Amino acid sequence: MTTENMKEEIRQYILTEFLPGEKAANLRDDTPLRTSGILDSVATLRLVTFVEERFGIQVEAHEASVENFDSINSISAFIESKKTGAS
């Protein structure tokens, strides 16, 4: 799976689950998700569960941080680091 495909799947999930009716163009790869209030703690847990199931990785509690889950860019970089064992 390419990085762009991964980002698109994450974007579609966020739009469907947390921003119904929002245009995809308004959710950029660098849009802050947690620091802007789009995702609260419960929504973040749902997103972490989606990422684990969809991309076959295990997210440790300390890894579900703002650093790793505040934008589509940071989420995809985190997934790639987990898949390559770099985290």
**pLDDT per residue over 8-35, tens digit each?**
999 999 999 999 999 999 999 999 999 9
Q: What is the pLDDT of residue 86?
A: 58
CA atoms lying within 13 Å on the CB side of residue 74: 16
Question: Cα–Cα distance between 52 and 8 in angstroms, integer?
Answer: 16
Is the whole-model pTM more than 0.75? yes
What the chain holds in terms of domains, given with CATH numbers, is: 3-83 (1.10.1200.10)
Question: Cα–Cα distance between 13 and 39 in angstroms, integer?
Answer: 12
Residues 6 and 55: beta-carbon distance below 8 Å:
yes
pLDDT greater at residue 72 or residue 85: 72
Give how far Cα 58 sits from Cα of 13, 16, 49, 77, Å. 18, 23, 9, 15
